[in-house]
A and B are shown apart, each in its own frame.
Chain A
Amino acid sequence: MTEQSVSVEAAGSVKEFDATREAVVQAHNLTKRFDDLVAVQDLSFEIEPGVIFGLIGPSGSGKTTTVRMLTGIFPPTEGDVTVLGYHPRDFPRSIREKIGYMPQHFFLYPQLTVWENMNFMASLYGMNLFRRKILGELLEFVELNGHERKKVGDLSGGMKRRLSLAATLVQNPTLIFLDEPTAGIDPVLRRKFWSHFQGLKEQGKTMVVTTQYVGEVAYCDLVGVMDQGRMIMLDTPAGIRHRTYGGEMIDIVTVDPLDYSQVAELERQADVKQRLLLEGNHVRVLVEEASESMPELLRWLQDRGIEVQTMEEYLPPFDDVFVDLIQNVDVIHQKENNV
């Protein structure tokens, strides 16, 4: 796989880790094999501080293995990785204290109350005993205040996930790994979670979030799309959409349907790369930059007396983007290489 490196700056974030904006995570040709099974192959990327890095891909695509290599749970079979300037296997305590990790599965103790679990996590990170205020704020942050005395075994699934998130944040980590934090929870709560993540980002935290929900890509600053252990694309959400289709799409709805010659002439327009759809009076074209091409196309239509009902950029849902990307990944890469 071609090495990719994309940097995204987080707007308005407070940088705790490194004022010089050195990459928090640097992975180079990471590969992990379990006997004959190649779980992750040739992963290379960098994550700068203060961004939300999304790892997206179907189940078994290697997201969790990647996170485990980044956190030092698994050593890579090949390749090299540094996190906060250290190889994960050699993290000193001071670095471990800066890392928050929320595993994929619920990891807290069902016999303990919400408060006792939070206390356990705080002690695990060696926090001093004057921690009541911090823990209270965290529970408030995940909207679990008032449930402190409830036994965790009695909480709903959504509350457990929120508690997990709060427990992951007890030591005020700089870098947070969240492995499928929104798996198995309802859409409303998922949106709340991402709202929390945005809040954390605003506090200057760097986050690595894995998800199976393709739509959640939109919340990330940088996205790595994984399939069968490979990172098939690494870009911003908009960049992924753009690269998947080779440009941006514009939907044009005219009052009367275009005739054959009008359509053929439209396809020959300089900005138009490809006509994607023609259904009655609805035409969809692919252009390089929708914002730049739309005035040109509107002028062209008006010059020919074609009455336009609506013209707008079409943003295909990320679910579709993801499917198209997976299906056409080789073609896309070939085109990119040719360019």
Chain B
Amino acid sequence: MSSIFRSLIRISSFFRKEVVEVIRQPRLVLTLILGPFLILLLFGVGYRNEPRVVEAVFVVEPNSNLIDSIEEYASSLGEQLVYSGTLPDAQTAIDRLWRGEVDLVVIAPTRPEDSIRNDQPAIFQLYHNEIDPAQEAYLRSLGQIYIDEVNRRVISQLALQAQTDSATVREDIASARENAAQMRQALEVGNVALARERQRDLAQNLSSANDNVGPKAILLDAIERETGTNNPAESVAGLLGALIALQESPAVIDNPVENQPSYDAEIAELRETEEELADIEEMLAQFDAISPDTMVRPFRSELTSIAPTSTADPMNFYAPAVIALLLQHMAVTFGALSLVRERLSGTMELFRVSPIASGEALIGKYLSYLLFGLVMGAVLFLLMYYLLRVPLLGTWWSFGLVVLALLFTSLGLGFIISLLAETESQAVQLSMISLLVAVFFSGLFLDLRYLIQPVQVVSWLTPATYGTHMLQNVMLRGYGVEVLYMTGLLILGGAFFMVGWILLQRQMRLG
């Protein structure tokens, strides 16, 4: 019998033994497959993909002007902020926060107008009792949104007032246009007295319009400057200029002389004035159509994803990462316990005397656990695919290749743990540490971009990092196998295999 055939028989001894041993433990198999699935199911059912609701109490002095508006603002901020009433003193509110009755205490500025007059922003003081940095960041962001909303509403009031005022402006402009027309008609029939009378009215109208158009025109002008409106004639600046020019233009109204041979020049000028006033009126009508809300918040962003999978269901995002994490953990644990058990049960002693080579034993174990891991990965995925509706946009074989490479590398890590651990409990502890490393550094919950470069080395020494990245792209983006990441994973797996082989060789032959 050839040595290759004998070698294959020896490899098969471990392969069959490991497979049978696992199959003989149906509870273990069930736990390994159903456990992760149920965890993900529970997560999918229980996870709320919406911002946390924060209950806030406000501290406002009883005679403060802010008391009504604060309640109104808070109540209209949406479901994220639940208005829990106002209190007159801060200490009572802080006590409630300490007791956990509210999530946030907002202390309104005592005399905001004084601060603003002194060119200082009036400060809303926010207190919380969070110890989770993410929750603190959330509250900080929520507080900022609240303050932005307050600011917006203040400016919006200004805009509303300006809009109300601009109705008067429009009336002034309409009257001015009417008076200009009547003045022109009076000059056409030579009625200078009437023309002068209308001239006075026109001057009054223009003055009034100029006074009233101010705040709103300033707002619009600022918007147009930011947006870069190109046509000066259509700009608010143009409108203001025209209005001022009209008001200051004395040519028509200062020198209408009786018995003048011709008023053609004045009449022509008045026609132009009428047209300009008509333009101004039209522009004002357009501006008045803009709501105060749009005026104070003229920009809004709209986000569109080109990714083919919706982020609406967070389970989609987490499912590939969970598969990667669990397959890594399963493979590491199986590997970690496998050789340490052989050593503790005394079987390793037998291997040292027998003709089995370390490579044969290792390959046999690799093959059996790879097979088992693939089956487990497939069942786990099918459950997620059919019961949880997690998508697979890429191909099956891409998914399978990634899982295979992930299992190969994870098993290598497990075997190294097994060969370094002196007891089973040590092997389990080291496996748990590798799981913790994967939870924190594989990108499951924390994007790797939040980690500094040296720490990212730990991530890229963790098989689940590659698995998570590639499975997410295969399942959720429909990518194929990414050569760079696959190469990285296989290099890592190859290195683990070599280290495991050398360690096992030392243990089997050197005692």
Residues of chain A having any CB pair with chain B under 8 Å? 68, 71-75, 89, 93, 96-97, 99, 101, 103-109, 111-112, 116, 119-129, 151, 177
Contact = CB atoms under 8 A, between A and B. Distances in A.
Contact of A73 (B9, B12, B21, B352): B352
A101 B511 contact: no
Interface string B22-58: 0011000000000000000000000000000000000
B456 interface: no
Contacts, number: 88
A111 B356 contact: no
Given A107-B345, A124-B10, A71 B1 contact: no
Report whether over half of chain A's contact residues are helix, strand or loop; otherwise say mixed: loop
B13 A111 contact: no
Nearest to B10: A126
Given A112-B24, A128-B1, A96 B353 contact: yes
B506 interface: no
A168 B208 CA distance: 114
A310 B481 CA distance: 94
A68 B350 CA distance: 10
Interface string B347-380: 1011111111000000000000000000000000
B24 A99 contact: no
B20 interface: yes
B25 A126 contact: no
> Which of B17, B345, B346, B355: most chain A CB closer than 10 A?
B355
Contacts of A120: 13, 16-17
B17 A107 contact: no
A126 B355 contact: yes
A123 B9 contact: yes
- Residue of A72, A121, A123 with most partner-chain B CB within 10 A: A123
A104 B346 contact: yes
Nearest to A108: B347
B511 A123 contact: no
Contacts of B200: none
Given A96-B355, A124-B356, A111 B1 contact: no
B17 A112 contact: yes
A99 B346 contact: no
Most chain B beta-carbon neighbours within 10 Å: one of A93, A103, A122, A126: A126
Interface in B333-347: 345-347
Interface of B: 1, 3, 6-7, 9-10, 12-13, 16-17, 20-21, 24-25, 345-347, 349-356, 509-511
Given A72-B353, A93-B355, A116-B17, A127 B9 contact: yes
Given A116-B17, A126-B1, 9 more contacts: A71-B353, A111-B24, A112-B20, A120-B13, A122-B13, A124-B351, A125-B354, A126-B9, A151-B24
8 contacts: A74-B511, A101-B349, A109-B21, A111-B25, A123-B16, A124-B10, A124-B356, A126-B6
A68 B16 CA distance: 28
Nearest to A94: B355
Closest 9 interchain pairs by CB?
A123-B13, A126-B6, A96-B355, A101-B353, A111-B24, A93-B355, A105-B346, A107-B346, A103-B346
Nearest to A129: B9
B349 A103 contact: yes
Contact of A103 (B3, B350, B355): B350
B355 A97 contact: yes
Nearest to B364: A123
A8 to B, nearest CB: 25
Contacts of B509: 89
Given A107-B345, A120-B17, A75 B9 contact: no
A104 B345 CA distance: 10
Contacts of B13: 119-124
